[in-house]
Amino acid sequence: MKKIQSALISVYHKEGLDSIILKLQELGVNIYSTDGTEKYIKQCGAEVTPVEEITSYPSILGGRVKTLHPKLFGGILKRRDSEQDNQDASAHNIPDIDLVVVDLYPFEETVSSEASHQDIIEKIDIGGISLIRAAAKNYKDVLIVSHQTQYEKLLNLLEDKQGESSQEERKAFAMEAFAISSHYDTTIYHYFDQDGKAAFRQSYNHPRPLRYGENPHQAASFFGDFDTLFDKLHGKEISYNNLLDIDAAVSLMHDFQDTTVAILKHNNACGLATLKNLTQAWKDALAGDPVSAFGGIIITNTILDAETAKEMHKIFFEVIIAPGFTDEALATLKQKKNRIILVHKAKSPVPHQFRNILNGVLFQDRDLKTETDADLKTATNKKPDNLEISDLIFANKIVKHSKSNAIVLAKNQQLIASGVGQTSRVDALKQAIDKATHFDFDLNGAVMASDAFFPFKDSVEIACKAGITSVIQPGGSIRDQESIDYCNENNISMIFTGIRHFKH
């Protein structure tokens, strides 16, 4: 156990600090401080010693240098059980510092506020982060409080143990300090290397323990600020698999601007429709695969109304995501106590993706390309009509977000069926046709989208015999001409985009 007899306090965020200061005063702790914090401590009615009385050196360079001094760092880093350290401290008149309460300039917040480059640079903390690291390194003798969120924990410790702390407690504070300092440096690095390609550095706070991972025997957590993206209005705790589906749903819906409803299962769309009427869009989405919809998640880009909510409520689903809900819709949806209801706040997707594999990390730009009319190149004699072009673009958006190998069949802005995650493109197509047939869809006049080129003409032959009249694919196979020739012979239009959308 170590008793706090002296403290260095120098913070940017002072809210909640007053109770700590008064308690330290009550315990007879000598307080050292700097500039604005010193004035604040005096206003609280406590005695305080300016650090200049220790260092005999003023704050210089507009405040850039005020705590970077051997006497301050010596008082923090001195090993109390070291005879040599004690002799050095005595010889140079260095006082012990047992508690360091120091936070960091708000660099991340300043960047987010779109401040000028110079204002951002000035928010790169030098003295503060050095003090934090020094105190955390010497946790055996020093207690470090490095963030405003720790003030309450410190106050409880002061009140419950009258200024004493165990090594285990000091080590826990030190661990948090290094987490804060590493996150701070990572944020600064990303500001300078905005492409993120010079080195891989990522840092996420806000740990969110999950019930389990993909399976019950796997422990799992989510690191990130979920609440900046969603308001959770109702339902059970969100699971690991829920989060994967939510991420897939939001990424998919980002590509649709008109009123759209999608149903996802295991990260793939099993139902999707775009219509002016939201309720009808839901009915058409559900019709695409009412079996797979059971236990899935639903997303729409339109405020959910009472009529649509009543229709949705007829089936079991785990999550519903929308930009908003009417009061009547919420009342209906909340009748299932475990149903997760999320309001999605408009936010652009992050520009990069990464995943750990082997003994390293794969890093790539996110696939943010969404083809438009300008990207379409007709490869066949027959050109698709306007309705077919609309359906081709619609189907291509869906296949972009489907697990490879993937085929999507669509008609009148409705997902008729898809084949996903297959080891061959032919199998994916057959799966889609079988599903469409099972749910009594008429494939005559439907369109087909593929996430990658057709290595042979066999897929085009199968699609043509099923009634498909127009195809969209990236192109790029050495046998493209065989597919084009077959389409010309059978009066089918084929569009090349030149853009592949593999998804693993």
- What's the Cα-to-Cα distance from 345 to each of 114, 200, 205, 459, 498, rounded to whole Å? 20, 28, 20, 40, 33
- What's the Cα-to-Cα distance from 110 to each of 84, 128, 301, rounded to whole Å? 43, 17, 31
d(CA 457, CA 446): 18
Q: Are 146 and 137 in contact (CB under 8 A)?
A: no
- CA 436-441-444 angle, to 5 degrees, is 105
Residue among 363, 423, 371 at smallest CA distance from 397: 371
Q: Write down the catalytic residue from 183, 254, 266, 334.
A: 266
Q: Is 210 helix (H, G, I), strand (E, B) or coil?
A: coil
215: number of CA atoms within 13 Å, CB side? 2
Total Cβ atoms within 10 A of residue 199: 7
For residue 101, give the amino acid letter: V
Q: At what angle do helices 458-466 and 480-489 cross, to 10 degrees?
A: 20
Q: Is 140 a catalytic residue?
A: no
Q: Are 237 and 319 in contact (CB under 8 A)?
A: no
Q: Are 471 and 495 in contact (CB under 8 A)?
A: yes
d(CA 186, CA 181): 9
- Cα-Cα end-to-end distance for the chain: 53
d(CA 39, CA 465): 83
Q: Write down the catalytic residue from 123, 137, 190, 336.
A: 137
Q: Is 71 a catalytic residue?
A: no
DSSP, residue by residue, 338-358: T-EEEEEPP-PPPSEEEEEET
Residue among 155, 116, 109, 222 at smallest CA distance from 17: 155
d(CA 116, CA 16): 30
Total Cβ atoms within 10 A of residue 379: 18
Q: Is 394 helix (H, G, I), strand (E, B) or coil?
A: helix
Q: Is 223 helix (H, G, I), strand (E, B) or coil?
A: strand
User: Which residues are catalytically annotated?
Assistant: 137, 266
